[in-house]
A and B are shown apart, each in its own frame.
Chain A
């Protein structure tokens, strides 16, 4: 199938290591952020979200950190597995010129490759 990571930054990590994927967002008015995982040929899969009134949120093997001062978001994946190989996107819920509530603005994405 077509590779959605063809033009995206790549992060390569060893299986079992921790990985950190970073994202810079642009709109200081954004109040909600989501990380998605997209495997080749599939739609984005919801991983974890965080509201702007939080700095950190943990899920199963994943942690999202939010630094509003520098408008930076990161996704930490612990003990990476081969199944974690995918493209990861951050998304923000920003005010839209069209007025559509909850429409998301996506970051560029990072292609995570897990090496055995």
Chain B
């Protein structure tokens, strides 16, 4: 399976600021996704990061709050904008390989104070 890395692994940020999370894959992949995992909860899909076009957002998530870039087939960024304590979560990127198999990065643990 693909090796996926994320930067930073964790961060503590002040409310009102923004943080950009990077996701790097060691091979070219078609589909990349961003998920959020709030403390003690399951994962929720934020958006599909489309290469060469705008991301596709799920209900409840908007581009102004979570802008996403996908400049090539191995890299994507997710920005958490104008952060509030409610944004404290683990943010995970994932990629699809094969027909549907989806693999996850290690996650970025964000705490907003």
Known: A3-B40, A8-B40, A101-B31. A32 touches B45 (CB 8 A): no
B contact residues, range: 20 to 34
Majority secondary structure, B binding face: strand
Convert A39-83 into 0s and 1s, putting 1 for each residue whose CB lies closer than 8 angstroms to a CB of B: 000111110010000000000000000000000000000000000
Identify which of A3, A91, A104 gathers the most chain B CB atoms within 10 Å of its CB.
A104
Pair A89/B43 contact, Cβ less than 8 Å: yes
Cross-chain contact A109 with B42 (CB below 8 angstroms): yes
Q: Is B15 an interface residue (CB 8 A)?
A: no
Task: Flag if A106 contacts B58 (CB, 8 Å).
Answer: no
- B37 interfacial contact with A, CB 8 Å: yes
Contacts of B44 in A (CB 8 A): 106
Which among B37, B42, B44, B106 has the highest number of chain A CB atoms within 10 Å?
A: B42
Contact residues of A with B, CB < 8 Å? 2-8, 32, 34, 36, 42-46, 49, 89, 91, 93, 96-109
10 tightest CB-CB pairs across the interface, nearest first?
A100-B48, A6-B40, A7-B40, A43-B104, A100-B56, A106-B42, A106-B43, A103-B45, A44-B104, A43-B106
